[in-house]
Amino acid sequence: MSCISPVIVPPAVSFINSAARFKAYRVLLASNPRS
């Protein structure tokens, strides 16, 4: 399992980062709806 960890951790971090960015983007759109 320790051998697989280094391979799985980077994608998980990037996924969490993109998810947080997407969430912030949705909140930004919700705060000022122009369309």
Q: What is the mean pLDDT of each run of 10 residues along the chain (35 residues)?
A: 64 89 92 73
Supply the pLDDT for residue 13: 87
Tokens of 11: 């994608």
Q: Report pLDDT for 9.
A: 74
Tell me the residue length of the chain: 35
Stated pTM of the model: 0.52
Q: What are the CA-CA distances from residue 16 to residues 8, 31, 33, 34, 35 (Å)?
A: 12, 22, 25, 28, 28
Which pair of structure tokens corresponds to residue 7? 């391979």
